[in-house]
Chains A and B, each alone.
Chain A
């Protein structure tokens, strides 16, 4: 049994008095211990929604309308508030794009870390402090002891995100869900943070769900990729295989559209149009209006995810 198994997950938001629209339209996902998965999609594809739904954090008026999130055989969506708090922030940690979502601006770094730790462990203040300093050192924060007494605003963006990672690691989680953890940071800081996350996951055998729009980052960090489009997973598979031989036309289009994949001064490949909002999805495959291979079947039926790709006319992909 996989560590995490998401089955047919649907998230719905009310539209008007009776109607609902689905932001997630049935997503399946499996994650083994220590595995690193990248969830890639454009804004509105539902990738952040997936992270929130896994942690049962969908805010009203949205709701999980269908599906299960099995974590070690336990459905997280059915747990009581008290029980899920014992898992969230403890066995599953989160890193958000904005470190200030996690950090409280009026408390010192040390206070927040010790509080987090004591919420999940019976531990003395002294031991807690020692462990926190150790974690800060682990994420390469210079002069960790004195940073314990610093307030978040006294740190730069890169250091703040390191502190968030240190907090995420405090409770020795089995899974870290990182939602665009480096999007707000500069490229050199992004490289520092991502190599840090990669190293920590490898060393401690922690599983990672990395949510991002950046195929480059995913290619560097993850072992498996899931491509999302309009609330569905359209392609899934080993990172290398998807990057080198994508099978869904959307994945292939995204990769071809990257400047690094085009010759200098040549026009980039461009996918026409833009992703439809969840309130105005076309019939059939949501991608068909932008797809050059779309036929009548694509316009009427939603292709199921089969063999890692949800497409009636998939590209050849690898020679296998």
Chain B
């Protein structure tokens, strides 16, 4: 097995919730509870789940936007979460991020050129000015942006154009690994396809590895190599994309798949009982999904299932899957 490009080991993230300063209780939100993933070079590793499942926290922790409460993050075998800024700088050029909202992810007062030149100037300070310009122009061309956009401000562009610029910014230092956090969910349907195609093309041209965070399983099916289904800060199922759609093993994965609206209809015909995420401040002792699960028995409520391998290569955290 090749060395993973990104690996997390026992990653935990806890946030102290704001309280009254005299309050005795110190409630803590468990956003990630021991997440182990290993992303192989060249793959598109998707993380799916509903809001509050920790998928965005995972991406932000890997990018160093959040400091883990416990666990390790490794980039090509080197631990990066405790690395000092000087040693981390060259690694930052290798890891970049595309955000969800193209209306917020570009600084409204900076023109496109300055936005794109900043990562090069900061991370590769020895680059001569002429080369900075060259790199900016080539990455603009690669992401389908017009070179004339360079002197213009973000508000002059549509959402899809802005997302192209944001992707160009992520690629301008020639990274090997890109975290894409819901990069198409703020865009219109006809634009989503354009951006997905662009991401596919860029991956083929540059050999990129993606960590693709999304709530939309139909995008995963089209786009992903492997997928991790998360629920309440834990990985519930981790499998090849083909396998998970053909043989979903975790009841939560099945629930997600059934919930996708289908063009042939039929998904919404039977009424569903309301299911809500359990309180992440006081998670239930057993399986986090047990309160919503039709298969749940006494064991599920008492003992938390660990992620285990199945015959078809899927890893699943459920007592009942086989």
Q: Could you list which residues of chain A lie within 8 angstroms of chain B, going by C-beta atoms?
A: 42-43, 140-142, 156, 158-159, 162, 186-192, 194-196, 198-199, 213-217, 219-221, 239, 243, 253-255, 257-262, 264-265, 267-272, 274-275
> Contacts of B192 on A, CB cut-off 8 Å?
257
Are the CB atoms of A254 and B190 closer together than 8 Å? Answer: yes
Q: How large is the interface on B (under 10, 10 to 19, 20 to 34, 35 or more residues)?
A: 35 or more
Are the CB atoms of B268 and A191 closer together than 8 Å? Answer: yes
Q: Which residue of B lies closest to A182 (CB)?
A: B261
> Contacts of B265 on A, CB cut-off 8 Å?
219-220, 239
Are the CB atoms of B256 and A271 closer together than 8 Å? Answer: no
Are the CB atoms of B197 and A270 closer together than 8 Å? Answer: yes
Are the CB atoms of B158 and A274 closer together than 8 Å? Answer: yes
Given A260-B221, A268-B196, A271-B190, are A216 and B263 also a contact pair (CB < 8 Å)?
yes
B149 contacts the other chain (CB 8 A): no
> Contacts of B271 on A, CB cut-off 8 Å?
140, 195-196, 199
Q: Which residue of A lies closest to B44 (CB)?
A: A265
B321 contacts the other chain (CB 8 A): no
Q: Could you list which residues of chain B lie within 8 angstroms of chain A, going by C-beta atoms?
A: 50-51, 158-161, 188-194, 196-197, 200-201, 215-219, 221-223, 241-242, 255-256, 258-277
Are the CB atoms of A260 and B259 closer together than 8 Å? Answer: no
Q: How far is the CA of A31 from the CA of B191 in the complex (A)?
A: 31
Q: How far is the CA of A104 from the CA of B295 in the complex (A)?
A: 39
* Besides A195-B267, A257-B190, 11 other A-B contacts (C-beta < 8 A): A42-B190, A186-B215, A187-B215, A188-B255, A216-B262, A221-B268, A254-B190, A255-B263, A259-B218, A268-B196, A270-B194
Nearest-Cβ distance from residue B147 to partner chain A, whole angstroms = 18
Are the CB atoms of B261 and A216 closer together than 8 Å? Answer: yes
- A-B pairs with beta carbons under 8 Å apart, 24 shown: A140-B271, A156-B276, A158-B274, A158-B276, A159-B274, A162-B274, A186-B50, A187-B216, A187-B259, A188-B256, A191-B268, A194-B261, A214-B189, A214-B261, A216-B261, A220-B262, A220-B265, A257-B192, A258-B218, A259-B218, A265-B222, A268-B193, A271-B194, A274-B161
Given A158-B274, A274-B190, are A219 and B261 also a contact pair (CB < 8 Å)?
yes
Nearest-Cβ distance from residue B50 to partner chain A, whole angstroms = 4
Q: Which residue of B lies closest to A140 (CB)?
A: B274
> Contacts of B277 on A, CB cut-off 8 Å?
156
> Contacts of A156 on B, CB cut-off 8 Å?
276-277
> Contacts of A198 on B, CB cut-off 8 Å?
268-269
Residue picked from A162, A187, A239, most chain B C-beta under 10 Å: A187
Count how many pairs of residues, one from A and one from B, have CB atoms less than 8 Å apart in the complex: 143
Are the CB atoms of B189 and A257 closer together than 8 Å? Answer: yes
Q: How far is the CA of A217 from the CA of B260 in the complex (A)?
A: 9
Q: How far is the CA of A196 from the CA of B272 in the complex (A)?
A: 8
Nearest-Cβ distance from residue A190 to partner chain B, whole angstroms = 7
Q: How far is the CA of A270 from the CA of B196 in the complex (A)?
A: 10
Are the CB atoms of B215 and A274 closer together than 8 Å? Answer: no
Q: How far is the CA of A216 from the CA of B255 in the complex (A)?
A: 17
Are the CB atoms of B218 and A254 closer together than 8 Å? Answer: no
Are the CB atoms of A195 and B50 closer together than 8 Å? Answer: no
Residue picked from B197, B222, B242, B269, most chain A C-beta under 10 Å: B222
Nearest-Cβ distance from residue B246 to partner chain A, whole angstroms = 12
Given A158-B274, A159-B274, A259-B221, are A195 and B190 also a contact pair (CB < 8 Å)?
no
Are the CB atoms of A215 and B263 closer together than 8 Å? Answer: yes
Are the CB atoms of B189 and A195 closer together than 8 Å? Answer: no
> Contacts of B276 on A, CB cut-off 8 Å?
156, 158-159
Q: How far is the CA of A192 from the CA of B270 in the complex (A)?
A: 9
Are the CB atoms of A187 and B273 closer together than 8 Å? Answer: no
Nearest-Cβ distance from residue A256 to partner chain B, whole angstroms = 8
> Contacts of B259 on A, CB cut-off 8 Å?
187-188, 190-191
Are the CB atoms of B193 and A269 closer together than 8 Å? Answer: yes
> Contacts of A192 on B, CB cut-off 8 Å?
272-275
Task: Pick the residue among A142, A261, A267 that contacts B197 (CB under 8 A).
Answer: A267
> Contacts of B269 on A, CB cut-off 8 Å?
195, 198
> Contacts of A275 on B, CB cut-off 8 Å?
188, 190
Q: How far is the CA of A267 from the CA of B209 in the complex (A)?
A: 18
Q: Which residue of B lies closest to A194 (CB)?
A: B268
Nearest-Cβ distance from residue B158 to partner chain A, whole angstroms = 5
Are the CB atoms of A191 and B267 closer together than 8 Å? Answer: yes
Nearest-Cβ distance from residue B45 to partner chain A, whole angstroms = 15
> Contacts of B190 on A, CB cut-off 8 Å?
42, 253-254, 257, 270-271, 274-275
> Contacts of B221 on A, CB cut-off 8 Å?
259-260, 264
Q: How far is the CA of A262 from the CA of B219 in the complex (A)?
A: 10
Q: Which residue of B lies closest to A139 (CB)?
A: B274
